[in-house]
Structure 1
Amino acid sequence: MPTHEPSPPADRDLSHSLNFRVDDLDADDQISAAFFRLVSVHEDMLVSLAEHHSADGARSFYVLYDGSATWDHPGVPQYVALHLQRDLERSTFSFERATLPLPSMAQSWLIRRGCPPEFLTLDAERGTAPADEATRALEQRLMRDGDHYALGWSHTQDDPDDWVTLAVLRALDERARSPFRVVVEEVDIEAGTHTLREGGFDSVEEALQWCDDRLGGLSKALPLVRPVPSLSRPAPAPKTASSRPSGRSR
């Protein structure tokens, strides 16, 4: 059990006021109980990293950091993607929720449910900042192409001396030469930054073994992701002078 106070991996002002806009709406007993158990009971520990509300107020999308996750079972994801749907004429609501290991995966989950990507930018004043361009590029790709992968396993270790998140993904493209991916986020608490890297594996066993080694303190390079082979036909070789038919003089 960690001994530090639960907080996002950055020492920043996280004062916030969440408003899910459902207090005046009704729902059936099952939905109301689920929303209380999965969302409302943790509300004082939730920090909004990004949110978007449709112009008509019928839909809301949230990327949330859940500070209570640090007290849960070791390794559980600490980010919540929440999609609220309100029927304002009937004064009812419904919701979808997913816990995910990385904010970019939460963004991807919400984008697939109709949130415009340009309105789901993470708040730069909350959480940590990308340490380099490689991190930014991979985060954008995970956010944009997250539906190309299935999340199989993840582990978040929020030890201030080694804050790391590991996620094992399976490529849904049957042509993928690296069908299993390991995504590694490492946080530098003092600098307030994080790096994100990706490695490719041929089997889930190899991917999980790499993760076990990393959590065990072994530092091993991530294998490169092999690119998807091109299905385009090679261009025909240009004809040379020797390949031309010879002419005869009469």
Structure 2
Amino acid sequence: MSNDLDFGLDGFEPADADSEYAEQRFWAGDLTVLAEHHTTPNGSHSFVLAHDGSVTWGVPGAPQIRAIMVARDLNQNTFTFESTDHSSVAFAQNWLVERGCPPERTQVGGDFMKPADALTTRVEERLRASGARYEVLDSSTSDFDPCETWTLTRDSTAAEASIRVFLEEGDFESHTYTMREGAFADEDAARQWLDDRCGLLPQPPEYHGDAAALRARAALTRSTGASAAPKAGVEARTTPSAGTAWRPGPGRSM
């Protein structure tokens, strides 16, 4: 799917230079829409979650998920246009929700990859509803081997190990993906783990007393499905496989 979105901006002028630049940058992209919401009845706001295919030919590791918000002033015939890039769909959804998009309207449906397990769903739900809790320090997206995304953050609410890594890995065979959270004492330790991948992704301290997470891990460990998703467990480090959450299903073109 190419960029064929129409925000209905005919007759509207950018309210500021930033909006003009953001709109121009948006039209330069090659977007696959993952979710969108346009407010009614007056149509004052539009929210879009998309994958920008043009990024794959740009700087290696650059984020490919784009969140867009358009706010129209129907009295002045002007609009503001905001756009941000994220490595993970969940962080882009958080950005949209914080700006007034109903959470249920940010959900990715259709033929796109599904969460592999309850733990992935739980981590993503927490990210979507986290507000300004996580400060993004860095991120990376890989289209090759390994095919994965990670987002390095600082958790403003964590009593200890406040540096958090959110690692997303997909599996084309099962058409699913996992999202895991790791905790580190400082940024250097987190970057060292991302560089070396020595040992398991360290489990956040608060997970140890989380009965729901423990039950989910136990259930996943017992699973022996023929087309199993990446290895279960909060701290599990899987062999990366192609695909991330935005990717379409077999036969769906972009």
Normalised to the residue count of structure 2, the TM-score between the two structures is: 0.75
CA distance in 2, matches of 1:29, 1:185: 36
Contact 2:86/2:92 (CA < 8 Å) preserved in 1? yes
| Letter of the structure 2 residue corresponding to residue 97 of structure 1 | S
Deviation digits for residues 85-144 of structure 1 (CA, Å, limit 9, x no counterpart): 01122221111111011111011011111112122221232x321111111111111111
- How many correspondences in the alignment? 208
Deviation digits for residues 26-84 of structure 1 (CA, Å, limit 9, x no counterpart): 22573564034320111xx1011111111120011111111111111110101111110
Cα offset for 1:191? 2.8
Map residues 8-157 of structure 1 onto 2, 5 A cutoff: 14=1, 17-27=4-14, 30-31=17-18, 33-42=20-29, 45-55=30-40, 56-125=42-111, 127-157=112-142
Contact 2:69/2:81 (CA < 8 Å) preserved in 1? yes
Worse overlay, 186-195 or 205-214 = 186-195
| Letter of the structure 1 residue corresponding to residue 24 of structure 2 | R
Give the counterpart of 2:187 among 187, 190, 204.
204
Aligned match of 2:164: 181
CA distance in 1, matches of 2:200, 2:101: 36
Contact 2:23/2:81 (CA < 8 Å) preserved in 1? no
Cα offset for 1:163? 0.9
Cα offset for 1:24? 3.1
CA distance in 1, matches of 2:19, 2:163: 38
Aligned match of 1:221: 200
| Letter of the structure 2 residue corresponding to residue 221 of structure 1 | L
CA distance in 2, matches of 1:69, 1:99: 10
CA distance in 1, matches of 2:164, 2:76: 45
> What secondary structure does 1:73 align onto?
coil
Cα offset for 1:158? 0.9
* Rg comparison, structure with higher value: 1
CA distance in 2, matches of 1:208, 1:35: 31
Contact 1:176/1:227 (CA < 8 Å) preserved in 2? no
Identity across the alignment (%): 38
Cα offset for 1:152? 0.4
Contact 2:147/2:169 (CA < 8 Å) preserved in 1? yes
> What secondary structure does 1:162 align onto?
coil
> What secondary structure does 1:227 align onto?
helix
Normalised to the residue count of structure 1, the TM-score between the two structures is: 0.76
Aligned match of 2:248: none
Give the counterpart of 1:194 among 169, 174, 177.
177
* Cα 1:32/1:176, change in 2 over 3 Å: closer
* Consecutive unaligned residues in structure 1, runs of 5 or more: 1-13, 229-250
CA RMSD in angstroms comes to 2.2
| Letter of the structure 2 residue corresponding to residue 203 of structure 1 | D
